[in-house]
Structure 1
């Protein structure tokens, strides 16, 4: 596989870092990573899709992309605007779209809002954003704002060595292999005078101040006019949550694959995912 190509686009003075793999003349596939991951999340799939032009941004506040302005919340729909700006900057009128977890939610919102821009929607262990029931929003907002103040005051705890950070990523809530952890940390970690620190914005850890409600999510799902391939992880914890939503998607292919939440970073399921993507493209 050829070396990845790295560049950035400017979003009104804010840098959005992008990685591309594969054939520059191949079918464009834009890939959106999950929460606290980065573009390197798609390294293993890129190795298995050399004929595809795989385009993966570091979403705002992640990896080598700039943070949002201090005090600005990380609303999921703001990522939709960023990805749309990426498509426009690359002069891509229509693309296939792949998303993992949080990236899957962003992809669904984008495809629902702009179905004419998306030829194929492919989702990994996620379908739509988490919701707040409308009548719980005041209490949820208050709790999120209080927790956000505490988080911003505390900041990230630095690690004394790269290996300590590597072990923490390998054994986190969603474990990954040493090789995958190295890929992710190469874009998410930097050495400072205090030790090894995360690049991603501490504000990403704040609970959502506002979320969409079930009726709004349903409206986006019903606008998905393109073929949708939903691949859920058998050993993940998201399957039950997507079940009530499946009937809202008209042109849906649903697959459950043997793997954990980061199955696209595991050899066997990644090979299966790449095969399903090739069939679509």
Structure 2
């Protein structure tokens, strides 16, 4: 299990950077070789309540790839957006961020969970960049079997925003709540790995700027689905799913792949935390995608 420190070796340095994007200060990290020496450049878009740290286990397995890893507005070290935190706001922010760090449009854009929604909301804004969606939110959260749990979660975040400041922050950051969420998402039977995952969530799951931003971001995370944009996704998109994912169920992933006519790579024995539980498999799939070997015609990898 890697530490939560930045993925950097003497051959793969990590540089902390800041940029002003849509009037908000954004913290991001450049990890790996220089653009001229890298196999490829990949921009990482992390999930809800996460930070750029979450995807570092995959980064560490690809030292010859250049990664640009921002904290989304309102999370980690990035400041909130003045315009708000709807899904459209996050999508507009991503478009502006890509224009800032990758003006030539050569980078691959990888989004995990909520990050997949930010990308899929307006895929045309991404330009001609290739996309990788990991544990994409394929099904609408306010419909089907997840609807009741989603509404309870909305109430939880609303209550946290309405309580007095100290009480609301305690509720939203309480270790017990974090542990329950972590237990739901983790599917590994390895006790050391589960312990490490829980520690990572405890360390980074409450790195949000304020309660109102957190509520708005959660509402954004359940306001749409990648499935609704299946026909807009470019053909140069690959999907990676966990077979045991409760948040983005496999059945919905299969339907997304069918409608979008895209390759779906299913990793057995893992759920919504592909980047934590099976980073080697995720890195291998990303490496194949970089090399152009991830196609719908590959019978060994596509479903």
TM bracket (short chain): 0.7 to 0.9
CA positional deviation for 1:14: 1.3
Asked whether the 8 Å contact 2:87–2:223 carries over to 1, the reply is: no
Alignment of 1:146-161 (within 5 A): 150-154=159-163, 155-157=168-170
Q: Which residue of 2 aligns with 1:79?
A: 90
Quote the RMSD (CA, aligned, Å): 3.6
Q: Which residue of 1 aligns with 2:33?
A: 23
Q: Which residue of 2 aligns with 1:247?
A: 258
Q: Which residue of 2 aligns with 1:55?
A: 68
Q: Distance in 2 between matches of 1:181 and 1:148?
A: 21
- Equivalent pairs counted in the alignment come to 254
Structure 1 residues 98-127: Cα deviation after superposition (integer angstroms, max 9, x where no partner): 1111111112224x2235331x21111115
CA positional deviation for 1:35: 0.7
Partner SS, residue 127 of structure 2: helix
Q: Distance in 2 between matches of 1:114 and 1:160?
A: 34
Structure 1 residues 73-114: Cα deviation after superposition (integer angstroms, max 9, x where no partner): 52122111111111111243322111111111112224x223
Q: Which residue of 1 aligns with 2:51?
A: 38
Note the residue ranges of structure 1 that are not aligned, 5 or more in a row. Answer: 134-142, 190-197
Task: Quickly say closer, same or farther: Cα 1:248–1:172, change in 2 above 3 A.
Answer: same
Q: Distance in 2 between matches of 1:144 and 1:275?
A: 34
Partner SS, residue 114 of structure 1: helix
CA positional deviation for 1:39: 0.4
CA positional deviation for 1:50: 0.9
Note the residue ranges of structure 2 that are not aligned, 5 or more in a row. Answer: 1-8, 144-151, 187-192, 291-303
CA positional deviation for 1:186: 5.5
Task: Quickly say closer, same or farther: Cα 1:244–1:8, change in 2 above 3 A.
Answer: same
Q: Which residue of 2 aligns with 1:257?
A: 267
Task: Quickly say closer, same or farther: Cα 1:55–1:185, change in 2 above 3 A.
Answer: farther
CA positional deviation for 1:17: 1.1
Asked whether the 8 Å contact 2:182–2:198 carries over to 1, the reply is: no
Q: Distance in 2 between matches of 1:212 and 1:41?
A: 23
| TM-score, normalised via structure 2 length | 0.70
CA positional deviation for 1:56: 1.4
Partner SS, residue 18 of structure 1: strand
Partner SS, residue 64 of structure 2: coil
Asked whether the 8 Å contact 1:36–1:200 carries over to 2, the reply is: no
CA positional deviation for 1:145: 9.3
Asked whether the 8 Å contact 2:157–2:172 carries over to 1, the reply is: no
Partner SS, residue 231 of structure 1: strand
* 2:120 paired with 1:108: yes
Q: 2:110 aligns with which of 75, 78, 98?
A: 98
Q: Distance in 2 between matches of 1:183 and 1:160?
A: 14
Q: Which range moved further: 122-131 or 39-48? A: 122-131
* 2:280 paired with 1:271: yes
* 2:240 paired with 1:231: yes
Task: Quickly say closer, same or farther: Cα 1:165–1:275, change in 2 above 3 A.
Answer: same
Q: Distance in 2 between matches of 1:4 and 1:184?
A: 22
Q: Which residue of 2 aligns with 1:202?
A: 211
